[in-house]
Amino acid sequence: MSAAVERLLKILDLERLEVNLFRGESPKDGWQRVFGGQVIGQALVAACRTVEGRAPHSLHGYFVLPGDPKAPIIYEVERIRDGRSFSTRRVKAIQHGAAIFSLSASFQVEEEGFEHQFAMPDVPAPESLPAEAEIGRNLHPSTPAAVKAYFARERPIAMRPVEIERYEGVRQPEGRFHVWIRATGTLPDDPVVHRCVLAYASDMTLLDASLIPQGRTLFDATIQGASLDHAMWFHRPFRADEWLLYAQDSPSSQGARGFSRGSIYTRDGVLVASVAQEGLIRPRRES
């Protein structure tokens, strides 16, 4: 197991304070605010710790305030309902006495039913694409330093972008972006762990897709960006430590908000999850 994955699993392993109360910590990596995927993953872990025999099939979250990485996050779970087939939980993430994130999650017993799915896009295999360290070394000299640093940093989630040229300002009118992702080390066999890790990873690059039609990225210091909400649906079993294709597009941006969608496939074409997010994308205001 890589050190980064070990740290991620430790971050997701919340401390139980009471029956429906949990505490999570943030990595000491120098960020000014907590990564949104961390709060999503930890909130889902808190909800899962109150449900037995059922896996999460959907979550809907709202980012309320930026998280403080120096302070612990308290997760308060409300047990909304336990029915014969479904369970519903509501989670509130709290720091300094105020809610910074709220999440609703639904759980279902395993059932058989009708089956269909969209086909996976035809893209190069992850082995044919450069690893992140190589990407950082080979980016154009004019590429912003923040982009180069991003690809040089050790992370628990490996990423191999297909359209790497978008980080050099290339526009794509439909805002389509494909990136292969996986945990950088072997995860435990517990399916809930894999769903929580994928929930963590699902916040990576998605908001940024809404800037592709403009040929911009969130690395641009003149752009203010922040996730506003996040929704995710788990369709089929998967392993988050095997390559998954995260196919993203952005149907619309308006009113200083960008809307992005994502479909996540196994490498053999099975659609395992869908994601949607709206975020703030506005020209940074001069103070």
**What element of type H or E holds 221?**
none
Paired strand residues for 258:
253, 279
285 within 8 A of 224, measured Cβ to Cβ: yes
Q: Taking Cα atoms as reference points, which of 280, 274, 275, 276 lies closest to residue 258?
A: 280
Q: In whole angstroms, what is the distance from residue 231 CA to residue 247 CA? A: 15
- 42-61 burial, b at 16+ Cβ within 10 Å, e below that, comes to bbbbbbbbbbeebebbbbeb
22 within 8 A of 74, measured Cβ to Cβ: yes
Marked catalytic residue, from 38, 104, 203, 210: 203
85 assigned to active site: no
203 assigned to active site: yes
**What element of type H or E holds 248?**
strand 244-254
128 assigned to active site: no
Q: Extract the tokens encoding 78.
A: 């409300």
Q: Who's near 68: CB < 8 A, 6+ residues apart?
A: 33, 34, 95, 96
Marked catalytic residue, from 42, 95, 227, 253: 227
**Backbone Cα Rg of the chain:** 18
Q: In whole angstroms, what is the distance from residue 116 CA to residue 211 CA? A: 31
Sign of CA dihedral 164, 184, 230, 232: positive
Marked catalytic residue, from 253, 260, 274, 277: 277
Active site residues: 203, 227, 277
